[in-house]
């Protein structure tokens, strides 16, 4: 593929350790400017269960190579932010044919089709040619989950290294606990069920009764079903379908059928941020083992979008960093996670023995940052600069005025450096966006109890 190379892209602030970084927002802007002169309109519709969840109308250029890259990267962004299993294209036959081939034959396209299409939404991706009139406007599907603080509730969060649980009475935390566990490579789903049940029972012991249970976990959940989640990566496929997929339905039944809601941990983080800030239109970004995200709409709702920004491309250079799981280039996880820190460390001059876990590398970089080591500072400044350009890209997907960042990568002084550099980029390159978006990190109260209270507040007691 020979990507479009706009000649006018000039970053006012260049990432210290990643000078070849090519912001998606700039590449798209320059392509759209060129295509507007003699381009051909194309309308894309992303569907889930025959319901349109995202729609874009754009122009493509006469050059088929650059046009395919533009459309495929846009679809990648739509797929991993909104999620769906049917793609409608009102455009040239040649584009439709190439997209069909991409999702059925290329490694990157097959990954998208298998994970989003099959595993999350039960059908491989289908690309269908249609007319523009056949693609209606998206259906708003916000759910008014959360902010229900009445009664005696349990809130839980299942992480990769620990599980958290809290007992909440009328919005006040009366008990909270963190228990270490190691779910990733457990083959028997009984380990996950028993561990979660144990935490729920410990919280229930501090309540006069249990009126509702709300929870969060890394992964994708649809109608309280587990579709894709790293917590259960060790469970064989057959057991996944029979024991893991309905695990929360089984837990609900064990608790007498009380209102029970489980959503992605990024959604609960965004909801906790909205509750803490007493405001809506929140995009929450967690820079940890991977890159997680959640979104609360300006109306205060959680949507059914999957918000897997780890796989949304933020860097459009053709030889950018490669994600080891999807095989794709330039995805957010390679920039805004502990993987990103490990990628930048040797460039900064910080060497580790081969095989040193990313988590240990992050701890060492944080130690060096605490000593004001310039190599560590360069890493955080690079992450922050790239993040500033990514924020402008995310603003083409989401409507937000509050950006909440958290996760292990943001711990210590490095987190503040990331915010400062991102704000510097926004002020220099996107002043209108900068004036409308506030970037912050959670306060101590939210860190301690916010997630648990937000999770507990998910179900409505009827």
Q: Is pLDDT at 4 greater than 70 in this prediction? A: no
The DSSP line for 330-359 is: SBGGGTSSHHHHHHHHHHHT----TT--HH
CATH code for the domain defined by 152-264? 3.30.420.40
Q: Confidence class of residue 445 from pLDDT cuts 50, 70 and 90?
A: low
Question: What pLDDT does 246 receive?
Answer: 96
Mean pLDDT of all residues in 124-147: 86
In whole angstroms, give the CA distance from residue 432 to residue 427: 8
Q: In sequence order, what are the beta bridge partners of 87? A: 46, 127
The predicted-structure confidence for 91-123, as pLDDT tens digits, reads as follows 999 999 999 999 999 999 999 999 999 999 989
The more confident residue out of 417 and 148 is 417
| pTM of the complete model | 0.90
Would you say how long the chain is, in residues?
Answer: 462
User: Would 152-264 and 269-450 be classified into the same CATH topology?
Assistant: yes
Q: Which CATH class is domain 269-450?
A: alpha beta
Selection from 85, 91, 440, 53 nearest residue 284 by Cα: 440
The predicted-structure confidence for 335-393, as pLDDT tens digits, reads as follows 999 999 999 999 999 999 999 999 899 999 999 999 999 999 999 999 999 999 999 99
In whole angstroms, give the CA distance from residue 255 to residue 117: 32
Q: Confidence class of residue 453 from pLDDT cuts 50, 70 and 90?
A: confident
Own/partner contacts of 445-450, CB < 8 Å, gap of 24 or more, are: 445/276, 446/272, 446/273, 446/276, 447/406, 448/176, 449/166, 449/173, 449/176, 450/272, 450/273, 450/275, 450/276
Q: Give the domain ranges of the chain.
A: 39-134, 152-264, 269-450
The count of other CB atoms within 10 Å of the CB of residue 190 is: 11
Can you read off the two tokens belonging to residue 454?
A: 């937000």
Mean pLDDT of all residues in 7-31: 91
Q: Confidence class of residue 1 from pLDDT cuts 50, 70 and 90?
A: very low
Place of tokens 């580790």: 352
Q: Confidence class of residue 6 from pLDDT cuts 50, 70 and 90?
A: low
Question: What pLDDT does 112 receive?
Answer: 96
Q: Confidence class of residue 38 from pLDDT cuts 50, 70 and 90?
A: confident
Q: Confidence class of residue 2 from pLDDT cuts 50, 70 and 90?
A: very low
In whole angstroms, give the CA distance from residue 233 to residue 257: 28
In whole angstroms, give the CA distance from residue 124 to residue 252: 30
Q: Confidence class of residue 8 from pLDDT cuts 50, 70 and 90?
A: low
Question: What pLDDT does 302 receive?
Answer: 87
Q: Highest-confidence range of 319-328, 343-352, 448-457, by mean pLDDT?
A: 343-352
Q: Is pLDDT at 7 greater than 70 in this prediction? A: no
In whole angstroms, give the CA distance from residue 434 to residue 451: 27
Place of tokens 């101590």: 444
Q: Which range is least confidently modeled, 101-110, 163-172, 256-265, 442-451?
A: 442-451
Can you read off the two tokens belonging to residue 224?
A: 């309280």
| pLDDT > 70 fraction of the chain, expressed in percent and rounded | 97
In whole angstroms, give the CA distance from residue 113 to residue 56: 20
Q: Confidence class of residue 462 from pLDDT cuts 50, 70 and 90?
A: confident
């Amino acid at each position: 593929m020979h990507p479009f190379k706009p000649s006018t892209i000039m970053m006012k602030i260049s990432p210290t350790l990643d000078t070849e970084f090519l912001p998606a927002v700039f590449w798209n802007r320059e392509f759209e400017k060129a295509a507007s002169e003699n381009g051909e309109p194309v309308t894309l519709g992303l569907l889930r269960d025959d319901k349109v969840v995202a729609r874009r109308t754009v122009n493509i250029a006469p050059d088929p190579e650059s046009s395919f890259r533009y459309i495929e990267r846009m679809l990648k962004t739509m797929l991993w932010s909104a999620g769906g299993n049917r793609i409608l294209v009102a455009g040239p036959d040649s584009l439709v044919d190439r997209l069909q081939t991409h999702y059925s034959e290329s490694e990157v396209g097959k990954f998208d089709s298998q994970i989003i299409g099959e595993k999350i939404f039960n059908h491989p991706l289908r690309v269908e040619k249609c007319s523009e009139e056949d693609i209606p406007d998206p259906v708003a599907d916000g759910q008014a989950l959360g902010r229900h603080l009445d009664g005696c509730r349990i809130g839980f969060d299942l992480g990769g290294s620990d599980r958290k649980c809290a007992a909440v009475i009328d919005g006040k935390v009366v008990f909270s606990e963190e228990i270490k566990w190691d779910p990733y490579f457990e083959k028997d789903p009984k380990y996950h069920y028993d561990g979660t049940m144990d935490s729920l029972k410990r919280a229930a012991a501090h309540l006069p009764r249990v009126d509702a249970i709300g929870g969060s976990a890394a992964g994708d959940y649809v109608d309280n079903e587990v579709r894709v989640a790293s917590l259960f990566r060790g469970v064989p496929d057959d057991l996944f379908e029979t024991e893991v997929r309905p695990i929360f339905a089984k837990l609900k039944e064990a608790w007498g059928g009380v209102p029970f809601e489980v959503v992605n941990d990024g959604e609960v983080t965004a909801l906790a941020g909205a509750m803490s800030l007493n405001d809506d239109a929140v995009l929450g970004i967690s820079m940890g083992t991977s890159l997680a995200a959640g979104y609360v709409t300006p109306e205060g709702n959680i949507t059914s979008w999957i918000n897997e920004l780890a796989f949304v491309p933020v860097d459009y250079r053709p030889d950018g960093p490669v994600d080891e799981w999807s095989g794709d280039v330039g995805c957010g996880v390679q920039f805004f996670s502990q993987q990103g820190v490990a990628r930048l460390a040797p460039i900064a001059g910080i060497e580790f023995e081969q095989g040193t876990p990313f988590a240990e590398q992050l701890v060492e970089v944080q130690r060096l940052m605490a000593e004001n080591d310039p190599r560590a500072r360069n890493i955080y400044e690079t992450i922050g600069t790239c993040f500033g350009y990514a924020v402008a890209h995310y603003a083409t997907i989401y409507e937000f005025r509050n950006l909440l960042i958290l996760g292990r990568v943001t711990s210590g002084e490095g987190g503040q450096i990331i915010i400062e550099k991102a704000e510097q980029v926004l002020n220099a390159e996107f002043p209108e966006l900068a004036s409308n978006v506030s970037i912050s990190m959670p306060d101590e109260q939210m860190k301690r109890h916010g997630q648990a209270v937000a999770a507990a507040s998910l179900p409505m007691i009827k």
